[in-house]
A and B are shown apart, each in its own frame.
Chain A
Amino acid sequence: MIWVSWRQQRMEALLGGAVIAALTTLLALTGRHIAGAYGHAHLAGCSLGRPQPASCGDSVLHFSARFSNLVNLTNWFNMVPLLIGILVAAPIVLEFEHGTHRLVWTQTITRRRWLSTRLALALGVAGAAGLGFSLLMTWWRGPFDHLGGRFDTSAFDFEGTVPIAYTVFAVSVVLAVGTILRRTLPAIVIGLVSFLVLRLGIEGWVRYQHYLAPLHKTWPVGAPAPAGEAAGYINSNGLTVTGSPAAAKRMFNSCRVTDTGPRQLQGVSGCLRHHHVLQYAIYQPAGRFWTFQGIETGIFAALSLILLGLTVWWVNHRLA
């Protein structure tokens, strides 16, 4: 059964292997380069949320600007779990589309054994690929995470346990839709759309807003930010001013405020403090990273479980 499974999805396995190899090579080469530049710029002491040497500011900006294109490019890697999921699930759906399940199920093998072998292999491969992807990205993003935290989408989506859950979910959704429709292409399209809608929906409107209530803190201008703010996920931040907008504008002009970034505020903080202006932030502190990873992994794992349950039921009761 193992040989049959392997032979039947050899093409997809080779394709997936090629994609993973290309990705690994790309990440290994650029990752080494990034780590080298990071060491060379002596940025190890510049991590957020700790007292920083004066030299840090410009070096961090320079380092971030240098690799910003590369980091932006990794946005596309959000498709990697989906791609792996499709490559793993499609060969099973193809069986139903081509009717070859009737060939296999009438050899001396029970449907239960066929299904459990196929599912175990599919989920095993998907899980391992997701884990490998997560480890590779965590290593690659090491320097950026050290400087900027890992709670932002550009890190959170690729690290910890969520890539595994995304991959398993992608397999489950394509498999469930494909088992019911017995058509591979529609299953891939519907799977792709549901995956993107769910991922983007949760990321944009649920994760940072509702997993846990965000903290709402204020502190005097120029004073150190509360722990975990800078390396956490900032929903919004800025200055709180009492009084009418016109009065606030006059006050900002008199204090010569040009921007509310932390660096610009440093020179005028005395003036702002004098006017009782406070800094505020609504944020998810960095310490909640693993809690949020757990919640998001749980959501996608639960959805996968439902879809896989539906697949198993459908195969056992509705497919002939």
Chain B
Amino acid sequence: MSIALHTAELAKRYGSTWALRHCSLAIPEGRVAALVGPNGAGKTTLLQLAVGISQPTHGRVEVFGWSPHEQPLLVLSRVGFVAQDHPLYKGFTVSEMLRLGRKLNPRWDDQIAVERLDRIEIPLSQRVGKLSGGQQAQVALALALAKRPELLLLDEPVAALDPLARVEFLQSLMDAVAAGGLTVLLSSHILADLERVCDYLVILSSARVRLAGDIEQLIAEHHLLTGPRERAGRMAAETQVIQERHSERQSTLLVANERNVSDPAWLVEHPSLEEIVLAYLGQPAQLPSTNSPRLEVAS
């Protein structure tokens, strides 16, 4: 299987802050990869390095074997990129945006964009600034897809959209993926949206890659163990614990690399994708809390 995006010890520093460090990734062709992490984790930096908007401080990034910095046109002609907040010229009409794409891209296919926009009923004569946020995101996606990219990079494509526009956008994306020949890497800090569309996961946190891999495989490799609290310590010593949560009598451990848990006191389950992500980001999962805040009424 060939690699669409490959990074080796990739690092980027802004001033004295590392935006990305020791990033080594290999995203295989044909995957829809989610790049997940809190704000400031380095997601935008990684995407911008991949498309060549910024240059690495250390390490290498390659798109289909080419460096975006050294062979920009070879990379740019194969990559569709939608930056955060999907910037567009607000004063242009939609058809003028398409004309821009036609003028600046030799591989441009007008029909792809026109058909997509027609299907979701965005008039070409409309000024971009007059479109809703969701429609603007759709125009940005149509522009990126009409380049006939082999790799599509989307930076927080749905973050600013309302729930309905979010669903519609991801549907459009899935249609494009279904047409084949496309690798996608999209970043988000909202996992729920990505679970349906992605089959590959990269977790970034504090400028570092925490976890990367095929989602089904990741779920298969992780276990959620629930058992008595007094035996949690022993269990933790025997396994690789990613995250542990304790209530009064019960402990829940999320562990990597399955091991046979012989102790019948422990309930063994596979975690959900969200549980894995939250565990690696070191955030407490949203479980029903025993001491939920009560409404206090002053007498």
Asked whether B88 lies within 8 Å of A100 as measured between CB atoms, the reply is yes
Asked whether B103 lies within 8 Å of A103 as measured between CB atoms, the reply is no
Residue B257 CB within 8 A of the other chain: no
Residue in contact with A107 in the complex, picked from B87, B89, B92, B104, CB distance below 8 Å: B104
State the CA gap A108–B73 with chains docked (Å). Answer: 6
Asked whether B83 lies within 8 Å of A108 as measured between CB atoms, the reply is no
Residue B99 CB within 8 A of the other chain: yes
User: In which size bucket is the chain B interface?
Assistant: 20 to 34
| B80 CB to nearest A CB, Å | 8
Residue B107 CB within 8 A of the other chain: yes
Contacts of A107 in B (CB 8 A): 76, 100-101, 104-105, 147
Residue in contact with B147 in the complex, picked from A1, A4, A11, A108, CB distance below 8 Å: A108
What is the chain A residue whose CB lies nearest that of B153? A106
Residue A253 CB within 8 A of the other chain: no
Asked whether B147 lies within 8 Å of A102 as measured between CB atoms, the reply is no
Contacts of A3 in B (CB 8 A): 99-100, 103
Contacts of B250 in A (CB 8 A): none
Interface size on A, residues (CB 8 A): 21
| B297 CB to nearest A CB, Å | 49
Asked whether B99 lies within 8 Å of A106 as measured between CB atoms, the reply is no
Asked whether A104 lies within 8 Å of B53 as measured between CB atoms, the reply is no
Asked whether A110 lies within 8 Å of B72 as measured between CB atoms, the reply is yes
Is chain A's binding surface mostly helix, strand, loop or mixed? helix
Residue B29 CB within 8 A of the other chain: no
Asked whether A99 lies within 8 Å of B53 as measured between CB atoms, the reply is no
Contacts of B147 in A (CB 8 A): 107-108
Residue in contact with A106 in the complex, picked from B83, B90, B92, B106, CB distance below 8 Å: B83
Asked whether A7 lies within 8 Å of B96 as measured between CB atoms, the reply is yes
Asked whether B103 lies within 8 Å of A4 as measured between CB atoms, the reply is yes
Query: Mask for B78-122, Cβ within 8 A of A = 1, else 0?
Result: 011101110111111000100111011111000000000000000
State the CA gap A129–B21 with chains docked (Å). Answer: 49
State the CA gap A107–B80 with chains docked (Å). Answer: 8
Residue A105 CB within 8 A of the other chain: yes
Residue B77 CB within 8 A of the other chain: yes
Contacts of B85 in A (CB 8 A): 99
Query: Mask for B59-86, Cβ within 8 A of A = 1, else 0?
Result: 0000000000000110011011101110
Residue B39 CB within 8 A of the other chain: no
Asked whether B76 lies within 8 Å of A4 as measured between CB atoms, the reply is no
Query: Considering the complex, which residues of chain A in the window 217-257 have a beta carbon less than 8 Å from any beta carbon of chain B?
Result: none
Asked whether A110 lies within 8 Å of B53 as measured between CB atoms, the reply is no
Contacts of A106 in B (CB 8 A): 51, 53, 76, 79-81, 83
Asked whether B104 lies within 8 Å of A109 as measured between CB atoms, the reply is yes
Residue B54 CB within 8 A of the other chain: yes
Residue in contact with B53 in the complex, picked from A8, A102, A108, CB distance below 8 Å: A102
Asked whether A108 lies within 8 Å of B77 as measured between CB atoms, the reply is yes
Residue B239 CB within 8 A of the other chain: no
10 contacts between A and B (CB under 8 A): A3-B100, A4-B100, A7-B92, A100-B88, A105-B52, A106-B53, A106-B76, A107-B101, A107-B104, A110-B73
What residues make up the interface of A, taking CB atoms closer than 8 Å to B?
1, 3-4, 7-8, 11, 98-100, 102-111, 317, 320
